[in-house]
Every structure is written in structure tokens, then in C-alpha cells.
Amino acid sequence: MDVTNKEEEFNLREIIKPYVKRWRWFLFSLILTTLLAIIYIKFTAPVYKTQSSVLIKDAKKMSSASGDFGVLAGLGGFAGMGTNSIENELEIFKSKKIIEDATKELKLQVAIYSREAFYDVELYKDTTPFNIIVINEKQYAELPEKPIDIKIKGDKITLSSEEFKKDISTTFNKTISLPYANFIIVKNPKFNRKKVKKLDLDDFYFTYSDLFSTVNDYQESLEVDLADKDATVINLGIAGENKDKIRDILNRLVLIYNSYAIKDKNSESKKTKDFIDERINVISKELGTVETDKERFKIDNDIVDIGTEAKINLQTSVETRQKALEVETQIEIGRMLLGFIDSQAGSFQVLPTNIGLDNPTATSNIAAYNKLVMDRNRLLENATPENPLVKEVTKELAGLKNAMRESIQRYIANLNTTKNQIDGENSFTKKEIEKIPRQERLFRNIERQQQIKENLFLLLLQKREEAAISMAMTDDKARVVDHAYILKKPVAPKKLIGILVAWVLGFLIPFAYIYIKELLNNKVVSKHDLEKLTTTPVLSEIPRLNRKEKDTITTNDLSPLAESFRILVTNIKFMLPRNNVAKNIFVTSTVKGEGKTFVSVNLAIALASTKNKVLVIGSDIRNPQLQRYNPEKKGVKGLTEYLISDVADARAIIHPSGFHPNCDFIYSGSIPPNPADLLQNGRYHALIESLKEDYQYIILDTAPLMLVTDSFLFADVADVTVYVTRSEVTEKSFIGFANENISANKLTNVAFVLNDVHKSNFGYGNKYGYGYQADEKKWWQKIFNM
């Protein structure tokens, strides 16, 4: 677990190490971006924002009449009187038409500026000493892309621009013709110098935009939204450099919106009134026609009031039927009396009275007859039928009976006549009653049409009055809740956000650069990089030298460079066999420029400082480098001359190094045409063997392995191979090349040395000179163990 934690800590340190070691980059970037942000904020004109809020009245209906008036919405001629969605009002506020009117009224196509020390200031209304009036625009003209400078001296005005071939001279109140419009420059009588007393006002220019572009710009910058999703309050907002200008824009938009709303309402009311007048005329004619139809119907059917007529006919029918019943009753009574009379043939009996016979004559005759019958019956009690008195009474009774029979018969005949008359009347009344439902249906249909027309006529009269009242009492549709006001702080540039963005960029720019650089880096930088690429041990890290530092160590040298070579010497000795035979140290690299000769010379000095005899042989005879350390030895005979047998005694080519008494050099000599042939002719190996008696260490400064095959020809003589790599120079792929040769046993007892390591890239401790010149670490170095 401890090992895992240490590995994770080490990996984290390696990840952040490239960034920490370049902390100066971050500091410089932060300072630079902060300064740029401050400059930007200082030299950028502040942008202010103004806000306003309005309450949209009657957000559900635009109708100016009452709720009943909605019934007429479907009759036609009522454009714009449907539902009034609040979302529609939002779009109306942002419509080009309203913004275009505001642009024209406020003359927003021309913007006048004064050049000041830090930024240009827009002048407007009473802050500008002059106004520019656009007389007319020229169609299809190319608009200016550059501002037009204005110089005023007294009444003389000079206009200049990069787009002008020459300056234009004019005066106040004189028409100026430019390719895109005609202008007049007039003095501003409302100019208030006190409001702009901090400005110089001696260098002016103006910009001009066509109407379409100006409207588009303000339409994009205008903010319109609802204060709340359930409310009908609309918030308006717009930003700009001039406070008065943006305030006027919002207030003017509300005024124009209301003016259009009033026009719409008046237009609707007028359309409504015209429509109602037209309908009143039509319905008035239709109502007259219906009333004429009603009159004609009454005349044709001989009725005044169909209800009354029906009631009379029904009453007449009842009375007629009652009369008919009474007559039929009398007829039956009469017939009954006749039957009773006829049943008394040869006899005389009392006839019934009060049986309901409605005939006075017959009734009186019956009464007289009954009296005579009773008189006869009394006579018969004392006399016989042959008694003259009885006979006289009997004769009188017979005559009275006949008279009574005739009377009753006439009565019945009269009743039958009356009954026939009553039946005729009843039949007529019945026909009249049967006609009533149809007449009533037809009459009711006429009355219904009349009632509908009358109601609609009255309603239209009422609505005409309401429309007239609405036109006379039209109110603003948008009630201002908050007049346009300026927010306290500018909305741009935002100082805090600008500084924060600068800091973020100041951090991200070097971070991104370092990240990409590390991502694309294919070079070995640190010991850790090298150890990840090979299993071969890394003996030492050689620190990078400053320009003023010497590239060779000296006796009793306590510098980091000397300490690094002492470590290298110590580690090499652990790899060498422990015997008294001279040791051959084979110093090589993959390509040139990795520091083989530098390592060879300083390794020799370090070994010589331990009282060992050391010899350095410049074995790279193609590109000799050892002479660099003793330029005065350039041209002396060396290895090449020995290999071609020009020098028989090896001691003739050995020269003191000049760095330490125990250290000698054999220089490469002249450059031969056939170096490979010379190195494998046997004399090189013989030279090494012959020198072992005089030196404890023989260091072979060889040619790079990847470029030429020379070094492989005598690599077998090495007791240890020091493979030199250089930080930020050696490509990582070169280590693969070295690994292949090591695996193929082409090199003996190999160990790597990392040369020219920046102090921030050291794998351990970052500093040499422990106990002598060790520097106190900074706090950030202690945190990251740098």
C-alpha cells in the first residue's frame, strides 16, 4: 500500500512538474493579461443599460365595447378585434415598424462623437454643439465604412474621410451632398457646455447608417420580456453608450406603441360604427317589410288579433252547441207530449206539466186541458158521459186536444228550423277554429321575424352609441409602470468580470501551451522519462550549465557539475570488475550533439582527481571533437596517424590534457577517407592493450551509433558502456534504438547518462553540492519536492 501511494504521489508530481517549473510563465502571463484587461477597461467607452416597464391593458381582448359586443366579432368587418395575446404585444414592441418610427423621430441614423483621451464619447441632444440633419437618402448608394471627421473653425466646416478623394468645405445651414445622402449641419441652440465640461470637444466625427441597418441594430439590442409569466407587465431594456439617447429610445417606443394602439382602436371603432350603420339601414328595411307582411296577413284573414278571434270562435262554438242541445231537448219534450196525447185516443187524461217545455202557448193549452179534464172527471162522478154538460166538456176537450197537438207540432217544426240554423252556425265556427293553428303559425312566424329584427335593430343602435363613446374616450393601451431609467453601473465593460477573464486567460494560455508542448514532446527531458523507456540503469544526471560557467570541472571543485561527475564515477566503479587491470570506458550516444566528448573529458578529470591515471582517446575520427578543449593542439598527430602506421610508438600521440596532471589525451588526428577500414585493421585493439600498463582508466570518446558503424567495430573492448543522452535533445525513439543494440549484445555493460538537465528536471533533489553549496529551497519547491 505504501509503495502504491508513493507511486501515485510521484505520478502526480510528474504531471504537475512541467507547470510548476514554469511558474514564471504563469506569473508573466497573469501580469500581461491583467494589464491588457485594465487597458481595455480604461480605453473602452462604458455601455449603460436603461430599463422600463409597461402594463398592457385589456390583455385578453382588444374590443373597446362591452362583453356582448363579442357576439358581433364573427359578423365580419372587425379586423384586429380577436384575442389579444400578451405574446403578440412582445413581438409588436420588437417590430421593425415601431423601431423604424423611433429611428426617424430621434434621427438615430447619424451618431456624432468626440475624440477624447481614452475613448470616443457619443454626443446627443444638448451635449453636441451641432446637429446633422439628413435631408434625403440616395437609393442604392454604397454606404460609408469609415467615420467622417469634422473640423470646425468659426463658421467654416471641413469634412474629411479615408473614403474621400479630397476634403469637403462647407458652412452651417448649407446642404452637403455625399454619395449616399444629403446633409445639413446646423448649430444646436440647446447645447449645454456644462454637461460636458470634462470633454475637450475639439475633434469630432460622425457615422452614418442606412435606415434598414440602424433598425436592425436596435432591434437586435432591444430586450423585451414578461415581468412574470402570469402577468401582463412587459419589461423593456436597451444598452448604449449615451444615457440620454437610450432613455429617449425606450420612452419613444412606448409612445409610438400607444399611438399605433390608439389608431388601431379608432380604426376598429370606425369600422364598427360604419358596419353598424350599414346593418341598421339593412335591418330597418327588413323590419319595414316584415311589418307590411303582418298588416297584409291581418287584412287577408280578416283578423285584428288572432288570439281574440280564436277565443271568440271557441266561445261561439260552445254557445252554439249549448243552443243546439237546448233545441234538441225541446224537440224531444214536444215529441214526448205528442206521443202522450196520441196515446189517449178516446180518453182524456191529465197531461204532465213542468217537464221543461219552453213554449208558453203549449204550456197554457196543457194547463187548460188538464183543468177541463179534472172538471169532466168531477162531472162524471155524478153524471154519465151522455150528460149534456159532460158532452160539452168532452167536445171542448177534443177541440183543445187537437189545438194542442197542432200547437206542439208547429213548435217542433220551428225548433227543427232553429236547429238547422244552429247546425249551420256551428259548422262555420268549427271551420274558423280549424283555420286558427295555421293562421297562428304563419302569424307567429311573421311576429318572430319582426321581434328578431326589432331586437337586432335596438342592439345595433346601442352598439353605435358605444362605438361613438369609445372613439371619443380612447386611452393608451400601455400604461407606464416605470419610465425609462438608467442602471447605476455600466453593463460593459464589466471590470470584475474583465479581470477574472484576464486571470483565467492568463492561466489558461501558458497552461495550454505547456500542455500541448508536453503532449507533442518527443524528447527525453528528465530521468523519469528515460527510466520509463528502458530497463537499463541511469547512472547520473549532468546539470545544465549557464553561459558563464565553464564546461570542465577542476580539482576540489564543489560545483553541481563536479558533484554530478563524482556521482557518475562512483556509479561506474560499481559496474566495473574489481581487479587491477585497466578499465576501458566506452562513451557513446545515438546522434551527434548529445555531449559525448563533454562527458568523456569531465569524467576523465573526475577519475584523475582520485589519483588515477586516465587517458581519453578521441575515437571519432570522422568528426573530431576532442580538440575543442585544447584548440592549440589542432593539427597534431593522433589516432588516425597511428592507425595508418605513420606513427609507430603510441607514446608519440599522447598529449597532456592541460586539465589535470593525471589526465592525458590522444586526439583524433586528421580525418581519413576510410575510417571504418582503419578501425578494424587491428591496430586500434593493439593500441588499447598496449596502454593498459600505463593507465588505470582508458576513456573512448566514440562516434554516434545511429549515424555510422565505426563505434560498433571496437565496442567489444569496453568494460562499461556509458550511453550519453541529452535532455530536451535526445528523441524518445532513440532510446528504442539503444535498447535494440543492448538486447542484441552489441554493447557491453551499458548504463545511461542524462546530460544537460535543467535543475527543475532533476529526478532527485534538484541540487547537487549537499553539505557544501546546497541552496535553501523555496516554499513552492518544498511543496512539490522540486
DSSP string, 312-350: HHHHHHHHHHHHHHHHHHHHHHHHHHHHHHHTTTT---P
Q: Is 168 within a domain? A: yes
Q: Is 292 within a domain? A: no
The answer on 429 and 562 residing in a single domain is: no
CA-to-CA distance for 14 and 129, rounded, in angstroms?
66
Question: Do 40 and 498 form a contact (C-beta atoms < 8 A)?
Answer: yes
The answer on 595 and 458 residing in a single domain is: no
The answer on 92 and 39 residing in a single domain is: no
CA-to-CA distance for 181 and 187, rounded, in angstroms?
20
Give the helix/strand (H/E) hosting 399: helix 388-472
Looking up residue 735, the CATH number of its domain turns out to be: 3.40.50.300
Q: Is 477 within a domain? A: no
The answer on 732 and 664 residing in a single domain is: yes
Chunked into runs of 10 residues, the chain (786 residues) has average pLDDT values of 51 81 92 95 92 84 42 41 70 92 93 90 92 86 86 90 90 90 92 86 89 92 90 93 94 93 78 77 78 72 62 71 76 77 73 72 78 76 76 79 81 84 74 61 66 77 76 75 91 91 96 91 91 94 90 89 94 89 94 95 95 95 93 90 83 93 95 92 92 94 94 94 96 95 95 92 57 50 50
CA-to-CA distance for 352 and 509, rounded, in angstroms?
146
The answer on 435 and 422 residing in a single domain is: yes
> Which residues does 456 contact at the CB level (< 8 Å), separation at least 6?
279, 283
Instruction: Order the strands of the 181-187 sheet from edge to edge.
Output: 130-137, 181-187, 175-177
- Domain carrying residue 498: 2-44+493-520
The answer on 138 and 249 residing in a single domain is: yes
Of the three residues 505, 520, 535, the one that is the final residue of a domain is 520
The answer on 508 and 455 residing in a single domain is: no
Q: Is 643 within a domain? A: yes
| pLDDT for 772 | 45
Q: Is 399 within a domain? A: yes
The answer on 178 and 247 residing in a single domain is: yes
| pLDDT for 754 | 97
CA-to-CA distance for 8 and 442, rounded, in angstroms?
107
Q: Is 240 within a domain? A: yes
Matching residue, cell 557544501: 772
The answer on 334 and 194 residing in a single domain is: no
In terms of DSSP bridges, do strands 583-589 and 720-726 run parallel, antiparallel, or are they unpaired? parallel
Matching residue, cell 454643439: 129
The answer on 613 and 679 residing in a single domain is: yes
The answer on 25 and 112 residing in a single domain is: no
The answer on 507 and 373 residing in a single domain is: no
The pTM (predicted TM-score) of the whole model is: 0.59
CA-to-CA distance for 747 and 174, rounded, in angstroms?
96
| pLDDT for 530 | 94
Q: Is 579 helix (H, G, I), strand (E, B) or coil?
A: coil
| pLDDT for 465 | 78
| pLDDT for 761 | 79
Q: How many domains does the chain have?
A: 4
